[in-house]
Chain A
Amino acid sequence: MQEKEAKQLSGEMIQVVSFSLGDEEYGVDIAQVQEINRMVQITHVPRAPHFMEGVINLRGQLIPIIDLRARFGMARAEHTKNTRIVVTEIGSKRVGMVVDAVSEVLRIPVEQVEDAPEMISGIETEYIRGVGKLGDRLIIMLDLQRVISASEKRELESVDAAVPEATAVS
């Protein structure tokens, strides 16, 4: 039914993989999603940024895992049987994101995607590409590049912060 509505407006659609974090629904461009996995053993990496859950072994490759809840400053949740790791590939980088549950692949008409409002439930808007409307559902479309690169930036900041401390002690 939703698809029918969309086609009436325009032929152009974007395909997104939608998943949930708490009560909110998020979406990422399907072209950036490599695979969706059940929860596996995550190896903790000490002294990594707090939202860095650790690394997993994906068929012989080490994939860093971001806890998306921690990334967005939400309370961490216990992993359940619905918890999934969404493995994304942006450029040459592969990153896994822990999400509460993956719902489905959606087709959203381009006209139905609006720019991000100023503030959405405490998440810094820089990660948000827009908000897609589908019936009465709101899908927060993520800019994965930002999600990942900002994590690098923050990491660098924390390293910089650590330097004066180290020199002060010695």
Chain B
Amino acid sequence: MSEEFFDREEFVQYFKDETDELLQTVDASLLRLESFVDADRIDPEIVNELFRAMHTIKGSAGMLGFNEVQELAHRLESIFDLLRKDRMPLSQQSIDLLFEGRDILTALIRALTGEAIVPEGVEGYMERLESFSSLYETAAAIVGEQSESKSGPFEERLDASAEEIAAFEAEVARLLAGPDGDRTAASAVGEPLPQAPALEHHGDAARPAAQPRQEQRRNLSQTIRVDIERLDALLSLVGELVINRTRISDIAATLSRSLSEYKDSAVNSVIEPLAKVLADSAGLLARTTNEIQEGIMKVRMVPIGQVFERFPRMVRDLSKARKKEVRLEIHGADTDLDKTVVDEIGEPLMHLIRNCVDHGIEEPAERLALGKAETGTIRLNAYHEGNQIIIEVGDDGRGIDLARVRKKGIRQGLIAESDKLSDREIMELIFQPGFSTADKVTDISGRGVGMDVVKKNIARLKGTFDIGSVEGAGTTFTIKLPLTLAIIQALLVRVGGELYSIPLDSVIESQRVEMSDVRTVHGNEVITLRGAVVPLLRIGEFFGLGTARDPEKVMIVIVNMQGRQVGIVVDSFQGEQEIVIKPLSDVIGRITGISGATILGNGSISLIIDVHSLVSEAYALGRVARAEYAAV
């Protein structure tokens, strides 16, 4: 292929993006495959998926002339092929070898774009891999021969091949050890290769045949990659489209109004049908424009699972390195958030999870002694709350030893011996640059970088970060991030001539209440709702909009804030709508009670009410009494 006809750099980047995704899949699948080690049957779909991924990488690399990548992918593919055809038993050693291969492959691909240096020992690894797979290819051939020549029962065949298998086993252990593979050598000696399951599989005639390759590859090409800047450009173009759409609708409306005033005119007969068509087209244009707008917004949203994908592998490697038993539970992987946020959140989460493995989870013996399950659990959880996304990273480990943190803080000169600190303030020490409780530096953590980086990164995303810890029971890190460009359902309300949006997930209900049902507690207005006393907040007055009170009724939106209910008094309800949150410019600064703004379909702006800060501030200023206590 001539390089003159395409932008090589672009292709390399494309190749890297594509393979990154595939390598993530490989990682996830290898982890699942690992649970089948020494099992009687392997889920064939997992091996098929691995085979397909490797095959795709091989193909793309070949096309672009990345021979080394192609070669390695090819050899790994052969291993998966052997596994797929049940010609190779799945042992811990082979899994480790495959993980190693995956890492070398990743490094090779990174090196293509100059992100990393070309890893050492690639050739050595390839040789080991090659010998490993060729061994089983031979093994399969021998076993195959024997099962053909011998027609006796299964046990006999097993006996007959046992000798050869033992020989391969020794050879495999030697090859796995490799020239520099201390780790694999140690484990290879400890665990003999299981042979019986593989042979059993081999004898199983009812095994379904492998699917045709074309069909297997189809699923991999269902997505395309788009530069986010192109999306943003589209988005602002749509904005202009929306304005023009409104203009055309207005013209259509004006035209039909004017026509009704000249009913007898001869011109009327010509123009009226045209006006009708124009009105219809304007309507269609309006609908289509709305759909395009919403569509583009949604394209920017991606599930946070994209970030979570890499963690199971990381936890596996870390816990192995630290000789701990750790299980990673993931919840809410399908929680959507803006692409830009997703891109930034990976690193902070990685630090937190490392911290859980290294500092949180105890060693198995210690856990057993404490009456805990041998396997520690790290929970990764994501969900939407209000117009924020909450990400929790929690462990059931030893929690934060406040006395120890304090002591370290003093030793590292962060605080003075005489300082009286609350538990909270002691915990805050963890975020100080350079702080570390680890007694020795490991490759996982202890170098004192981490928590301050986490905090900084989260602050940059305009999020907040909190630690909850119970000594002996575990630690939970909570990250709250605003959805800076998220679509939410909102209730539109009119207050003092302007339209405000209240995020629907904090709204419990909206209702009209007669003034005769409004009572006062300590001078603050309240209503009773199903037995509960709900304080009212007249938002127009709070915002100083000069709204007049209606002597007969109040229109109330009941919102929930941390289990407390508050009734926000508005002028009227204007229905529900999906809105896009846009931040207010930092030139305006932070405004209590307002979290951002949105542009409505007709081009007008609606400010979004920040229920949380509005209600807390109203309480703080005494505009809303803590009526629920007063009324009891």
Contacts and interface: CB of A to CB of B under 8 A. Distances in A.
Interface in B605-632: 605-607, 617, 619-622
Most interface-central of A47, A49, A63, A169 (chain B CB within 10 A)? A47
Contacts of B606: 43
A155 B586 CA distance: 10
Nearest to B599: A57
Size class of the contact patch on chain B: 35 or more
Interface in B187-215: none
B589 A55 contact: no
Contact of B543 (A47, A151, A170): A47
A93 B586 contact: yes
B498 A47 contact: no
Given A55-B585, A61-B236, A64-B587, A170 B620 contact: yes
A48 interface: yes
A92 to B, nearest CB: 10
A135 interface: no
Contacts of A10: none
15 contacts: A43-B607, A45-B594, A46-B545, A47-B592, A47-B593, A52-B588, A57-B603, A59-B240, A93-B585, A151-B587, A152-B586, A152-B589, A159-B589, A166-B617, A170-B621
Q: Chain B contact residues: over half helix, strand or loop, or mixed? A: mixed
A123 interface: no
B353 interface: no
B126 interface: no
Given A45-B591, A46-B545, A47-B591, 17 more contacts: A41-B604, A44-B498, A45-B584, A46-B543, A47-B543, A47-B544, A52-B588, A55-B588, A57-B603, A60-B236, A61-B236, A64-B587, A93-B585, A152-B587, A165-B621, A166-B617, A169-B622
Contacts of B518: none
Interface in A133-170: 148, 151-152, 155-156, 159, 165-167, 169-170
A36 to B, nearest CB: 18
B236 A64 contact: no
Interface in A77-109: 93-95
Given A57-B599, A60-B599, A159 B590 contact: yes
A45 B235 contact: no
Most interface-central of A63, A94, A155 (chain B CB within 10 A)? A155
Nearest to B495: A46
B614 to A, nearest CB: 10
B243 interface: yes
A62 B587 CA distance: 11
Contacts of B236: 59-61
A56 interface: yes
B607 A45 contact: yes
Which 3 residue pairs of A and B lie closest in terms of their CB atoms, listed nearest first? A60-B239, A46-B543, A155-B589
A64 B584 contact: yes
B620 A46 contact: no
Most interface-central of A43, A49, A148 (chain B CB within 10 A)? A43
A45 B240 contact: no
Contacts of B545: 44, 46
Contacts of B239: 57, 59-61
Most interface-central of A56, A60, A66 (chain B CB within 10 A)? A60
Most interface-central of A59, A63, A93, A166 (chain B CB within 10 A)? A59
B593 A46 contact: yes
Interface residues of A, number: 33
Contacts of A48: 588-589, 591
B37 interface: no
B582 interface: yes
A57 B586 contact: no
B597 interface: yes
B605 A43 contact: yes
A55 B582 CA distance: 12
Contacts of B240: 59-60
Most interface-central of B242, B582, B588, B604 (chain A CB within 10 A)? B588
A64 B620 contact: no
Interface in B557-608: 582, 584-594, 597, 599, 603-607
B61 to A, nearest CB: 40
Contacts of A59: 236, 239-240, 243
B247 to A, nearest CB: 13
A167 B622 CA distance: 10
B514 to A, nearest CB: 28
A152 B619 CA distance: 26
A93 B621 contact: no
Contact of A62 (B235, B582, B620): B582
B238 interface: yes
Contacts of A66: 587
Contacts of B586: 93, 152
A52 B493 CA distance: 23
B594 A46 contact: yes
B584 A46 contact: no
Nearest to B500: A46
Contact of A57 (B587, B589, B605): B605
